[in-house]
Amino acid sequence: MIKIPVPHFVTFYNGLEKWIEDEDEIRLSDMYEIPTDNPELELKVRVININKDVHILNKCKTLRDYMTFVNKVRFKMGVEGDDVRIAVTEAMNECIDEDILVDFFEQHREEVVEVSIYDYDEEDVRRTLFEEAKEMAKEELKETVIEELKREAKEELTQEVFAEGEQSGEQLKIVNQIIKKVKKSKTLETIASELEEEEADIKPIYDAVVSSAPDYDINVIKDRLDNM
């Protein structure tokens, strides 16, 4: 078996999205559809955010020069309002004047412009898709909350209606009992005693029943009670 050096995988991140703070490790197995504790194929990648890691930039001139170029492009687009092509072109010219990646920019000027345009377009697309996804999630959450509130309101209303129905049914029962006793010319005091109710509690019903004589129409009695 042929021996090989121990491989190490490192990627430098210089994007603006809050993906990592300073440094992180990502694994190929994190992307597997079915999580597994012992994947047969694994790859660990050390990710370093070079936007903040001054130590690494100071140790590598090429990487530091590249970040200088990137920051120039960002400044021209974000502060001065230039489009991508103009920002990249002017940033390259400034870097050449400042002896930054001169050979590379002189040999690959057009490729740098085209690749930068593609990268920024891709970043805009990702950002747009992210915002759209966030809005969709917000709407879904809003609909879920509304449905939950509707369900709770429906349950509460059902309980109230049920309670009102029970109360109405109990009142109707007492009305019918009082009608029968009034027809027998029983007094309020006697009726209250027989029903085991307080006189004050049944007096409104008693008065409504007495005033509805001789028909003792339930609907008429109910209307009089509702208007008291």
- pLDDT tens, 138-188? 777 888 888 888 887 777 775 655 555 455 667 777 777 878 878 888 888
128 vs 6, which has greater pLDDT?
6
**How, if at all, do strands 23-27 and 10-13 pair?**
unpaired
Is residue 155, in this structure, part of any structural domain at all? yes
If we measure between CA atoms, which residue out of 213, 228, 221, 211 comes closest to residue 174? 221
2, amino acid identity: I
Q: What pLDDT shows up at residue 228? A: 66
Boundary of a domain, candidates 12, 34, 52: 52
Question: In angstroms, rounded to a whole number, what is the distance separating the alpha carbons of residues 85 and 78?
Answer: 13
96 in a structural domain: no
CA 34, distance to chain mean position in Å, is: 26
pTM above 0.85, yes or no: no
Q: Is residue 149 part of a domain?
A: yes
Where do runs of H (alpha helix) occur along 38-108? 54-59, 61-78, 84-97, 102-107
Name the residue range of residue 148's domain.
141-226
- Is residue 105 assigned to a domain? no
**pLDDT of res. 84:** 82
Going edge to edge, which strands form the sheet with 44-49?
10-13, 44-49, 23-27
Task: Encode pLDDT of 36-64 as tens digits.
Answer: 888 999 999 999 888 866 788 888 888 88
- Paired with 48 in beta bridges are 12, 23
Q: Please report which helix (H) or strand (E) contains residue 10, including its range.
A: strand 10-13
User: What's the CA gap between 50 and 72, in Å, rounded?
Assistant: 15
Tokens standing for residue 66: 């590249």
Q: Which of 68-77, 79-88, 116-125 has the lowest mean pLDDT?
A: 116-125
**Cβ proximity of 13 and 25 under 8 Å:** no
Number of domains in the chain: 2
The residues that bridge with 46 in the sheet, in sequence order, are: 10, 25
Percentage with pLDDT > 90 across the chain: 16
